[in-house]
Amino acid sequence: MQSILKLIRWKNLLMIIIAQTLIKYALFESFNVQVTLNTLGFILLVIATTSIAAAGNIINDIYDVETDTVNKPDDVVIGKAVSEKVAYNLFFILNIIGIAIGFYLSHSVGKSAFFAIFVIISLALYVYASYLKGTVLFGNVLISFLVGMSLLIVGIFDLLPVITTQNRLAQLTFFEIVVDYAVFAFLINLVREIIKDIQDVDGDHKAGMNTLPIALGRERANKIAFAVSMIPIGTVIYFIVTYLYKQQVIAIYFLVCIVAPLIYATIKIFSAEHPKHFQQISNTYKFVMFLGILSLILYPIFLKS
């Protein structure tokens, strides 16, 4: 069981669950926004999302056995604790669960076309693992987009189906907040993916991949990662100045818990040389993403009238 949990990367799935729950209850429900999903519907959305995400993690590990054997041999699960056949079976089962629930949810909210979202995400995760992960930036952008979609999908299913002419402004205002957080998740994950490619360059090169550091060299990839890392810093500062300048507590939280660690990570990127340095930077970005998600808790406390 422990090997299965490691294979599906339960910590990443838990972060998705926490993020979706806070969007639903700390943002939508606490401000009495008109929503589509009841508790059962929301639970089904979470199960569908995490099932497809777990399937994506499994297929990613199946295709990464060769590179992981070089980069992180102690973390290899497939072929050791879990056979490739069992991994493939889990991949198919989880995808079927996620897509089937997505089909039911799409029809239950009266938006049957939304079903395509689950199918596209499932296919995108497979294409990423089987092909795009080994390309220059395309895989990084795709997987980062899908990370952002794990947040955005709550707004799509909970807010959009009940938009009317009377509540349109309120619905879109809260949807835009979710979009902002999805963009934040996209940018943070994009930097982290570039950092991970630099860290894993030896194994990726052996597997015949053509990631950014392989195509341009570690030094140039490092400079690109440094440049890209400044984008989320700028966007968060813009968000603070534009929306939170009157909310001192929330603004301070963002400055201390989000901006400061991002600046720290950017400085570290500039001087990073060894794989352990890049691992520390990657962990910092993951922690910043988690702190960013937790900021949603502050809204009902300090913004609710």
Q: Is 285 exposed, middle or buried (0-12, 13-18, 19+ CB in 10 A)?
A: buried
Tell me which residue range forms the domain holding 47: 2-302
Q: Higher model confidence: residue 66 or residue 218?
A: 218
Length of the chain: 305
Is a pLDDT exceeding 80 seen at residue 209?
yes
Alpha helices in 64-200 (DSSP H): 65-71, 84-108, 115-130, 138-158, 168-199
Query: What span, in angstroms and rounded, lies between the C-alpha atoms of 274 and 199?
Result: 8
Q: Higher model confidence: residue 304 or residue 104?
A: 104
94-153 confidence digits (pLDDT tens): 999 999 999 999 999 999 999 999 999 999 999 999 888 888 889 999 999 999 999 999
Separation in Å, CA 34 to CA 31, 161, 164: 9, 10, 10
Query: What span, in angstroms and rounded, lies between the C-alpha atoms of 227 and 225?
Result: 5
The arithmetic mean of pLDDT across residues 76-99, rounded, is 92
H-run or E-run covering 112: none
Is a pLDDT exceeding 70 seen at residue 301?
yes
Q: Is 19 exposed, middle or buried (0-12, 13-18, 19+ CB in 10 A)?
A: buried
Q: How many domains does the chain have?
A: 1
**Is residue 104 within 8 Å of residue 44, measured between CB atoms?**
yes
Give 117's Cβ-side CA count (13 Å radius).
Answer: 25
